[in-house]
Structure formats: C-alpha cells, structure tokens
Structure 1
C-alpha cells in the first residue's frame, strides 16, 4: 500500500522520537518500504552542526543507524532553510514532493490552547500534504 515513508526528525531532540521511530520501523517492515529521514537546518551554525554539509552527514549517519537497527533501507534528506522555525512547514511539504514519499510519519504533541492560534507542525503537514500522514503522540 505504501512504497516510501518519510519521517521528519530533529537531530537535536532524537531522544523524544522513540515512539515515532518505532512506528516508522514497524510500517517499513510491514510494507517493505524504504524510509527517508528528513531534517531541516539553517545555513548558519547550530547546535547540531556547523554547516549544512555537516548536518547532512549527521542525518545520513542517523538514517544508516536506524536502517541497520531495524532492518530496512534508509536514507537521509537534508534541507536548508533561512529560518527553520518559521519555514519548517512548507519545507517539509516540499520534502514530501522531493523524496517521492507516499506516507509521512511524524511526531506531534497533544493539542493545547496554542494550537487554536498556531497550528502544530504535524497538524499543518497533515492538513496540506497530498499524501497520507500519520501523527504519533
């Protein structure tokens, strides 16, 4: 049913993604689908990497580690944004098209009052993506 899974990850907060990564692994095994991990970074030095190239290498290493750990084909797809905090949602939608994914599995938080003013990243992607989106809490 699904032929390619995209999972956005924040390399600075990988520890909070356990449920999302396990869900991704389960679906990849069930559908025998490759996984592409998408990360968005700024062009300036950040907490994870000093350059977009270093960020891409770290994302590729993360993808390789996840693929080996769970037994599926995995790759990284690094994207650079002028301001990831503001541009994250449209950048993730662009990544869906660039990667050819037909399922997005991404972490989200329980809804709260702020979501009525500013939608969550997961909510935005689910509302605007042309593919299926699974939000994991």
Structure 2
C-alpha cells in the first residue's frame, strides 16, 4: 500500500517525536516501505548544527539509528531554508513531490487557541499534500 514514507523531524526536539517515530517505523516495517527522514535547517549556525553539511550528517546518523531500531530502510534528507519559521510548510510540501512519497507521518501538538490564528504545520501539510498524511499527536 505504501512504498515511500516521509517523516519530517526536528533534531532539536527529538524527545517530542517518540510516538511519531514509532508509528513511522511500524508502518514502514508492515508495508516494507522506505522512509526518508526530512529535516529543515538554515544556512546560519544553530544549537543543532553549525552548517547545513553538519546538520545533514546528524540527520543521516539519526536515520541510520531509526533504521536499526525499527528494522527498516531509511535515509536522511536535509533541506535548507533561509527562514524555516516562515516557510517550513512549503519546503516540506515540495519535499513530498520531490521524493515521490505516498505517505507523510508527522508529529503535532494538541490543538490550542493559537491554531485558529496560525494553523499547525501538520494541518497545512494534511490540507495541501498530494499524498496521505498521518498526524500523530504527541
């Protein structure tokens, strides 16, 4: 049913991704699907990485760790944005097309009043992606 799953991750907040990562691993194993863990970074240094190259290396290591933990095939893909806080949704939507994925599994927070003003990333991806989207509440 699913051949390629995209799982957006924020390496700065890995501890909040546990349920979504387990779900991603379970689905990939069940369907024999490949997983691409996508992370969006900036060209400026951050608390996670000093350069996009370093971020990509950390994301690749994260993907290998997840592949080993869940017994799946996984890769990492670092995407660069000049302003991730404003265009992360557009970058992720483009990645769904570029990677020809048929499922996105992503973590989201429990909705609150601010979601009426500013929609969540998961909500926007689910609304605009051309593939199935599973939003996993943490």
Q: Indicate whether the TM-score tops 0.5.
A: yes
Distance 2:104 2:58 in 1: 21
Q: TM-score, normalised by structure 1?
A: 0.98
* CA deviation vs aligned residue, 1:22-76 (integer Å, no higher than 9, x gap): 0001100110001000000001101110000000000000001100111000000
Query: What are the ranges of 5 or more consecutive residues in structure 1 without an aligned counterpart?
Result: none
Distance 1:97 1:56 in 2: 20
> In the TM superposition, what is the alpha-carbon distance from 1:113 to its structure 2 partner?
1.0
Distance 1:43 1:101 in 2: 26
Q: TM-score, normalised by structure 2?
A: 0.98
Partner of 1:117: 117
> In the TM superposition, what is the alpha-carbon distance from 1:100 to its structure 2 partner?
1.3
> In the TM superposition, what is the alpha-carbon distance from 1:99 to its structure 2 partner?
1.3
Equivalent residue pairs, number? 137
Partner of 1:25: 25
* CA deviation vs aligned residue, 1:84-111 (integer Å, no higher than 9, x gap): 1111000000111111111000001111
Partner of 1:75: 75
1:51 pairs with 2:35: no
Distance 1:95 1:7 in 2: 11
